Amino acid sequence: MLVLGLQGSPRKKGNTNYLISTFMDAAEKSGARTISVDVTQKDIIPCKEYTVCEKKGFCPIDDYVKEEIYPLLRQADVVVVASPIFFYNMSAQLKAVVDRCQMFWARKYRLKLRDPGANMRRGFLLSVGATKGKNLFEGLQLTTQYFYDAIDAKFEGSLTYRGIEGPKDMAAHPSVIDDIHKAVGSILEPFQGRKKVLFACRENACRSQMASAFAQSLAGDRLEVINGGSEPGDEVNPDMVKVMHEKGIDMAFRSPQSIDEAISHVKPDYIITMGCREQCPHVPDAHKRDWNLADPADKPIEFMREVRDDIERRVTELIKDIT
């Protein structure tokens, strides 16, 4: 499982950084892979209110958000937002990232596409504020909740602390460590114990991508799904994306990766190969099955649809068999 942290404080060693670092450390000790992004140190262009995202579901602005954050938001099982309070909301740098995620909202509500990871993704908020006002965190809570709705993450709650102003105030807080460990345990508990399945093919551009998306969508609560290729291509097959969109399944922001990269963080219980003579590394105790699927590359889109439907049937049977 992947826990993604978005750190929004401009202070490198401030209270917000302490909060999210402690949270991510606890997540790693619970078995999660973690990635923290300090958005204040990245080249991020604010939303320019183009209408491309509303019409086509993509943001035309080319920067760190497009190249790195969008794919990470789709890969993540848990997304953690951390920010100090700036005028009853998050920092400007983090708000720029949130605004740029209008594109996800458009894909979900305008284009009616379903993110395969939506069933399981969770969101959590960490924040500190210098004052002690009753409504100090209300604006931030609302912004964060709508952000999580757009990226298909269930908002699991928050840890917010008032009266935090000195550089070490958070580290001296009497309950913060226990608070974080309880929150991490609660959030990660549903992800524990899922069977791990690797779908593998040669290029990781088509069949293994479809299989993993169907498995995520149908059984993300029971399966942790990864995919890879023995000779990964440069990009996913555009016809594959089209036929999956016909099923309402969103394949955006997926990129081919090697099998070695796929299993570097997750040891699969099952390896499902697509029948294209891909070379899989030996994984002790993993059950291996070969589906011997027809290769739809360079075939008419009707053939791609047939392969898609065959994969959906096989994934449904696999889920019944192993869960």
**Residue pLDDT, tens place only, 52-77:** 998 999 999 999 999 999 999 999 99
Beta bridge partners of 82: 7, 126
Q: Quick one: pLDDT band at residue 278, thresholds 50, 70, 90?
A: low
Residues 6+ apart with CB under 8 A from 247: 308, 312
Longest Cα–Cα distance in the chain: 64
List helix spans (H) across the chain. 15-29, 52-56, 64, 70-75, 92-100, 102-105, 138-150, 176-188, 207-219, 238-246, 259-263, 301-322
The yes-or-no verdict on residue 106 having pLDDT over 90 is yes
SS3 253: coil
| Token pair recorded at residue 290 | 């070969």
| Token pair recorded at residue 135 | 């409504």
Which residue shows structure tokens 């400007």? Answer: 92
| Token pair recorded at residue 303 | 């053939």
Q: Tell me the per-residue pLDDT of 126-167, one tens digit each, with 9 for 90 and over.
A: 999 999 889 999 999 999 999 999 999 999 999 999 999 888
Q: Tell me the per-residue pLDDT of 17-41, one tens digit each, with 9 for 90 and over.
A: 999 999 999 999 999 999 999 999 9
- 246, with CB counted inside 10 A (0-12, 13-18, 19+), is exposed
Q: Are 252 and 244 in contact (CB under 8 A)?
A: no
Q: Among residues 226, 270, 5, which one has the least CA distance to residue 117?
A: 226
- End-to-end Cα, the chain, rounded Å: 18
